[in-house]
Amino acid sequence: FELDSAQFCAAILSMKLCKPVKIVLNREEEFTATKRRTPMYYFLKLGAKKDGTLLAKEVRVITEGGAYTAMGATALYLTGFFSSFPYKYPNYRFDGYRAYTNTATTSAMRGFGAPQSTFVGESQLDMMADDLGIDPIEIRRKNGMTPNYEVPGQAYIQSCGLHQCLDKIDAHIKERGKLPPNHGIGVSAYGFMSGGIFNWFDTPYAFSAAIVRINIDGKVDLFTGACEIGQGSDTTLSMICAEELG
């Protein structure tokens, strides 16, 4: 997600030599030339009725940024965004602080602020459900986002299948029946922004847009912003396009 100087050097050298160039770092160089995940320290408060209906959430996060800025500031913003998902909070407040520290610089890493916020948020929700004597699935079903819901100051949710997902999980757990001692099934929920919620780079098309071009020979070209890294997007989107075109 973030380009470093070494990557630019590799590209320029490859252009000059007309050959592939690979930069291999030793252990010491790895710590100085690359970035790491952002450590985060959370302070959370939840407000709810006795029946489990959520009323408010307050989040304060202090992140360890390392010696330089990098994309860690974006991770701080995103963890505040993810903390408001996937439940309905009539009142939500987030305060985030990124501190410079005498450590390796932090930046974008897999999840980009989502794993941290999800872990602490779901753990706290389980604690609240236990205190109120409410089933963890039921408290998530009661407060889960639904289609056409507006996240306060964040985004408009057009589609959301959280309740259907929880229903299937609940049915699966009941099918398993009673488990042996010291065994259990954990449940958590998580929401992720997708489609055209954000357009950070101000492109003329939304992130969820696609262009279909029909050629004179009858073949079809499909252009999307999805990057195939093994998740199967090329196959899935081709199937969707074929279905729509009949």
Give the model confidence (pLDDT) of 52-78 as tens digits.
999 999 999 999 999 888 888 888 888
Higher-confidence position of 107 and 202: 107
CA distance 83 to 70: 22
For strands 91-100 and 54-66, give the pairing. Answer: parallel
20 and 132 housed in the same domain: no
pLDDT at 199 over 60: no
121 and 171 housed in the same domain: yes
pTM of the model: 0.77
49 and 76 housed in the same domain: yes
Domain residues for the domain of 119 are 38-176
* Tally of structural domains, the chain: 3
167 and 54 housed in the same domain: yes
